[in-house]
């Protein structure tokens, strides 16, 4: 099994695969990280305190993972195309685990991967999954979506572990839209928490945010039951409830009055919602889907004052639910 991207999530997924007895090649871009993982059998930079299985070996060479039985793609979303372009083409399944929409093209990750690797079956693994919990062996369930159901079911069996339970789906678009949109909504929920606007406001935001995710998802061809499942509502609830979410914690800082740009400049780990928000806003506008919470997050990321943005959201014309 190959894992491409050695941040928190790639490393946790490598640990799941190794728990299943797979030999895992974990690709990282940074040679110092490759060396550190192999020396210490730990990814102290991104997943500290987890002793990695001896079945995991890090590599900086994409030819070492190219012929793996399948590759889990776990780079930041905006970096995925460039990394896949260098990965030699062997037609092996690509299981996409990053959550986002490509800037510029507005393409979903599966559309990018299929364009770069046209002979590979492309799948999406998504759901409520804090990496540190998965790496510690805590129970977790995910959606594994594949257009070709036979390939999807075969891979589901290959990645399932006693504590890691994948549910098969054939709704690839639904699985990835849930994961991309929830990151933007998690920032908004964090703002509510940081600005101390109360639990009622947080619940309202989750419910209205889910309505927004559903409007956009249905317009793009997703199925409603996928959006209401692990990869949509499940992940939305997780990341709107905990400062363990990087997107939520970014929102908390903005809600306290800090500048988004300064908060982002001080982070080493990725907060995908900050990249997805403007792309999602533009993609929704292009197909006439109303996404007021996403629009509000974009204003906050651009530096508008929390009070003004929340005030404008609440002042929208009253309408039917």
Ligand X SMILES: O=C(CO)COP(=O)(O)O
List of residues contacting ligand NAI (CB under 6 A): 5-10, 28-30, 46, 74-77, 79, 83, 97-100, 129-131, 269-270, 272
186, interface contact from ligand X, ligand NAI, none, CB < 5-8 Å by kind: ligand X
245, interface contact from ligand X, ligand NAI, none, CB < 5-8 Å by kind: ligand X
In this structure, is the dihedral angle defined by the CA atoms of residues 313, 314, 315 and 321, taken in order, positive or negative? Answer: positive
235: nearest Cα among 136, 113, 97? 97
| Ligand-binding site membership of 220 (annotated) | no
46, interface contact from ligand NAI, ligand X, none, CB < 5-8 Å by kind: ligand NAI
| Ligand-binding site membership of 99 (annotated) | yes
152: nearest Cα among 126, 127, 128, 121? 121
Residue among 102 and 235 whose Cβ is closer to ligand X = 235
238, interface contact from ligand X, ligand NAI, none, CB < 5-8 Å by kind: ligand X
Q: Which residues contact 191 (CB under 8 A, 6 or more apart)?
A: 251, 252, 254, 255, 297, 300, 306, 310
d(Cα 175, Cα 124) in Å, to the nearest integer?
7
- The secondary structure element, H or E, covering residue 198 is none
Q: What is the DSSP string of 212-267?
A: HHHHHHHHTT--HHHHTSIIIIIHHHHHTS-TTSHHHHHHHHHHTT--HHHHHHT-
Q: What phi-psi label fits residue 49: left (phi over 0), alpha (psi between -120 and 50 degrees) or beta?
A: left
Residue among 108 and 131 whose Cβ is closer to ligand NAI = 131
Residue among 11 and 92 whose Cβ is closer to ligand NAI = 11
220 labelled catalytic:
no
| Ligand-binding site membership of 53 (annotated) | no
Residue among 156 and 309 whose Cβ is closer to ligand NAI = 156
The minimum distance between CB 292 and ligand NAI, in angstroms, equals 23
Question: Which is the catalytic residue, given 25, 182, 275, 281?
Answer: 182
Give me the residues that bind ligand X (CB under 6 A), please. 99, 128-130, 183, 186, 235, 238-239, 245-247, 272
| Ligand-binding site membership of 150 (annotated) | no
| Ligand-binding site membership of 27 (annotated) | no
Q: Which residues contact 127 (CB under 8 A, 6 or more apart)?
A: 140, 141, 142, 143, 179, 230, 231, 234, 235
Token digits for 306?
Answer: 């929390």
The minimum distance between CB 318 and ligand X, in angstroms, equals 32
Binding-site residues for NAD(+):
5-10, 131, 246
Instruction: Please identify every residue annotated as catalytic.
Output: 182
Give binding residues for substrate as ranges: 99, 246-247
């Amino acid at each position: 099994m190959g894992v491409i991207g050695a941040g928190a999530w790639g490393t946790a997924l490598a640990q799941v695969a190794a728990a299943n007895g797979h030999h895992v090649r974990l690709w990282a871009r940074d040679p110092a990280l490759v060396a550190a993982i192999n020396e210490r059998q730990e990814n102290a930079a991104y997943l500290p305190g987890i002793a990695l299985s001896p079945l995991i070996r890090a590599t900086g060479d994409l030819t070492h993972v190219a012929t793996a039985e399948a590759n889990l793609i776990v780079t930041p979303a905006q970096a995925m195309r460039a990394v896949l372009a260098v990965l030699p083409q062997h037609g092996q399944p690509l299981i996409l685990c990053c959550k986002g929409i490509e800037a510029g093209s507005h393409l979903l990750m599966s559309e990018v991967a299929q364009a770069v690797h046209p002979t590979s079956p492309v799948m999406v693994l998504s759901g409520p999954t804090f990496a540190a919990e998965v790496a510690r062996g805590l129970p977790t369930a995910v959606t594994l979506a594949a257009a070709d159901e036979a390939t999807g079911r075969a891979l589901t069996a290959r990645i399932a572990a006693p504590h890691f339970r994948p549910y098969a789906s054939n709704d690839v678009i639904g699985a990835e839209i849930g994961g991309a949109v929830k990151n933007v909504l998690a920032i908004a929920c964090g703002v509510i928490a940081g600005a101390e606007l109360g639990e009622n406001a947080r619940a309202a935001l989750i419910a209205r945010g889910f309505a927004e995710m559903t409007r956009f998802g249905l317009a793009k061809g997703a199925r409603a039951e996928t959006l209401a499942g692990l990869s949509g509502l499940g992940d939305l609830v997780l990341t709107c409830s905990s400062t363990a979410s990087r997107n939520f914690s970014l929102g908390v800082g903005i809600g306290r009055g800090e500048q988004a740009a300064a908060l982002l400049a001080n982070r080493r780990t990725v907060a995908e919602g900050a990249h997805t928000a403007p792309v999602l806003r533009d993609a929704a506008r292009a197909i006439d889907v109303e996404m007021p919470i996403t629009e509000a997050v974009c204003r906050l990321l651009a530096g508008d004052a929390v009070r003004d943005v929340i005030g404008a959201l609440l002042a929208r014309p009253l309408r039917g639910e």
